Amino acid sequence: MRRQRRSLPDAYGAWAVVAGASEGFGAAFAAELADRGMNLVLLARRGDVLGEVRDRLQDNHGVEVRCLTLDLADDAYPVALAEAVAGVDIGIAVYNAASVPIGPFLDNTDEAIRHAVDVNVRGPLHAVRTLVPAMCDRGRGAVVLVSSLSGLQGTPHVAVYAATKAFNTHLAESLWYELRPFGIDVVACCAGAMPTPGYARTFGRDVPGMLAPTEAARQTLDRLGRGPRVVPGRVNRLAAQLMGRAVPRKTAIRFIARDTKHLT
């Protein structure tokens, strides 16, 4: 029997923000939050696709959904986000958006690296600094920063992505401690491979232990209040333990490189 889940609106507030919500893991988070009774503010670049997600969630779950079409690499995004949520009781913030430069690091363009840093590093920093102060004032709230198993060690051929995801893990773990006295729960979701459109475009092939985005989102939200880190999926948790403890770090990196060598 599936254990009873927490009432997220009662625990944190009536609204959630999901950044990177137009497809894949972000859309799965939005659906899971809506299923648990949360109203939503959805952020993504593609307004038409985001509108389809909004309509589907409103029809299926009867919640209110607002869309904010913007580029999370844009310097204007924090101001736009602050204006969009003014007066709204934001209880949960999920930052899922990511940019993934592919191939050897020296072959990545300056533009691709800069975009990855803007979306993967500056993006979550802006989201936290925009949304969390009001949570602290209310004495409740939660933050989910989506990281990756790639961020637990170096990952050749997606070096910038791996490094930025390590940043997100460490940021979430630090905030988990800093924000607890204010009633804020923080967790880093170190997700493994999932069959999402973004994964298919970037990596192009299945790997063992792939978890459905909906299940990964459910497991992550179930871990709120039990952070600071969650690795959804048993196979992924085992892989993280093996790579982190059972084998030397250089061996782990070489092993992963065999799986990413096709990325050019």
Cα dihedral across residues 59, 195, 233, 101: positive or negative: negative
Question: Among 95, 165, 250, 261, which one carries the catalytic annotation?
Answer: 165
The percent of the chain in helix, strand and coil, each rounded to the nearest 5, is 55, 15, 30
By residue count, the chain amounts to: 264
H helices, E strands: number in the chain: 11, 7
Q: How far apart are CA 128 and CA 96, in angstroms?
A: 13
261 a catalytic residue: no
Is residue 161 annotated as part of the catalytic site, yes or no?
yes
Burial (0-12, 13-18, 19+ Cβ within 10 Å), 139: exposed
- Using CA atoms, how far apart are residues 49 and 225, in angstroms rounded to an integer? 32
d(CA 221, CA 57): 18
Orientation angle between helical segments 24-35 and 213-222, nearest 10 degrees: 50
Strands (E), the chain: 15-19, 39-44, 65-69, 90-95, 141-148, 184-191, 229-230
Catalytic residue chosen out of the listed positions 77, 95, 161, 199: 161
Active site residues: 161, 165
